[in-house]
Amino acid sequence: MKKTHTRTENLEANLLQLVNQERQKKNCSPLQGMSKLSEVAVFHSIEMLQFNKIYHDSQKTGSVGDRVKRAKLPYLACAENVAMGGDLKQCHIGLMNSPGHRKNILNKTYTHAGMGIVRNEKGMLFVTQVFLEQLAALDLEQEKKKVISEIHALRSKRKRTPLQHISLDITNKLVTKISTSSAGQLKQFDINPSFPTISKELQTKKVAFRQLSATWFTGKSVALKSVQKQLLNPKLKGFSLGISVNEGMGCLCAVFVFWEG
């Protein structure tokens, strides 16, 4: 039988304030409250109250990632804290004294949070905190500059000659196509038919090259490890990079075009 409950929105606001006070002590940016994220947290707290125990993975709703995606909230990373106790301060102190929960609260990458608190008929609080690094908060131009800087640093560290970076229209078109594709469509995606267009655009820009190669991938970040072999090729002369976001899949997309001299 379902148990009665009361949502305590004033306590949710107080808890977010406590979390941001802890973050301020560690020079972390404050988390922005998000109503849709709070709804995700509240529904999980209600379910925990009904079973009178706390947990992360639900037989009904899956993981916190599943719940956030179902709410149509694109993200780069998310995490969840859960607690139960007689009062808010007790729950907050318990979370801060737990290394894993404390790490979530003080994680600098998170930008938004949703607090969900419900009280059962005996006065016990069931608490869910959901933390989110929102895709919309990511500055793609800054991310691109950061990756290019990391590439130059990698080449310098390995005593390779500096690479030329050129922005190509075809690279941007390819990454846009990837960012608007479903997981099923990406299984069929082939970059090879684009080589004639890449070659023509490089020639238009008067870029001399002998050989072309290209690759693409999706993930939570642009991991240079996956293209490190190409980047450290002594014959490599330049590259083009395109970065975008696939909100449907909740990930970053990257396209690299390389040319040898």
| Length of the chain counted residue by residue | 261
Over residues 218-237, the pLDDT tens digits come to: 987 888 999 999 999 999 99
CA dist 37 → 42, 70, 75, 114, 235 (Å): 9, 11, 11, 5, 49
* Residue that the structure tokens 């040319």 belong to: 259
Among 186, 189, 238, 184, residue whose Cα is nearest residue 212: 238
What is residue 75's predicted lDDT score, i.e. its pLDDT? 83
Helices (H), the chain: 9-25, 35-51, 64-70, 88-96, 99-105, 140-157, 169-179, 183-186, 195-204, 228-231
What is residue 134's predicted lDDT score, i.e. its pLDDT? 81
Among 112, 104, 91, 15, residue whose Cα is nearest residue 48: 91
Over residues 55-100, the pLDDT tens digits come to: 999 999 999 999 998 998 878 889 999 999 999 999 999 999 999 9
Q: How many CA atoms lie within 13 A of 65 on its CB side?
A: 7
CA dist 24 → 19, 29, 30, 113 (Å): 9, 7, 7, 15
pLDDT < 50 stretches in the chain = 1
What is residue 246's predicted lDDT score, i.e. its pLDDT? 86
Among 93, 102, 114, residue whose Cα is nearest residue 9: 114
Over residues 100-110, the pLDDT tens digits come to: 999 999 999 99
What is residue 247's predicted lDDT score, i.e. its pLDDT? 76
What is residue 137's predicted lDDT score, i.e. its pLDDT? 64
